[in-house]
Amino acid sequence: MKKLEDYVRSIPDFPEPGIIFRDVTSILQDADGLRLAVDSITDCLKDLDFDVVVGAESRGFIFGVPVAYNLHKPFVPVRKKGKLPCETISRSYDLEYGSAIIEMHKDSIKPGQKVAVIDDLIATGGTIEAAVKMIEELGGEVVKIVFLM
């Protein structure tokens, strides 16, 4: 039986020299890999007491939505600046190769909600750190963060 790592491609020098990009699209392109990924994340959360799943653009959406569906939880997207239509809060953060700003709708997390955050992989951790700060600003409590790898 294959492990998740067996499905992931490593692309050297992308998006710039010196970066090794871990490409999870190869997981998505294989039905067994996709099932393994979603089931593995679901298993990490199935016994956890939480109210909502948050996923960061864009691969956090890909894995977070089916997990939220499987566990009958709502899903909240964290998006790049300017992509959400309603009133938002935002945070800037550093990447391996620059900086960025992410946003959430102001009404997406209710005070006291317990939140599980899902993303594909951890690089610098900046995206998820910024997401956690926004969740906490809205009054949510992050009870678990799950990375595919």
Contact 78, 108 (CB under 8 A): no
Per-residue b/e over 124-148, b at no fewer than 16 CB within 10 Å?
eebbbebbbebbeebebebeebbbb
* Residue 98: φ, ψ to 5°: 150, -150
59 catalytic, yes or no? yes
91 catalytic, yes or no? no
Catalytic residue among 59, 79, 91, 103: 59
Contact 72, 46 (CB under 8 A): no
| 37: nearest Cα among 22, 49, 51, 16 | 22
Catalytic residue among 16, 35, 96, 136: 96
Interacting residues of 6 by C-beta distance below 8 A, sequence separation 6+: none
Interacting residues of 99 by C-beta distance below 8 A, sequence separation 6+: 92, 93
Point out the residues that are catalytic.
59, 96
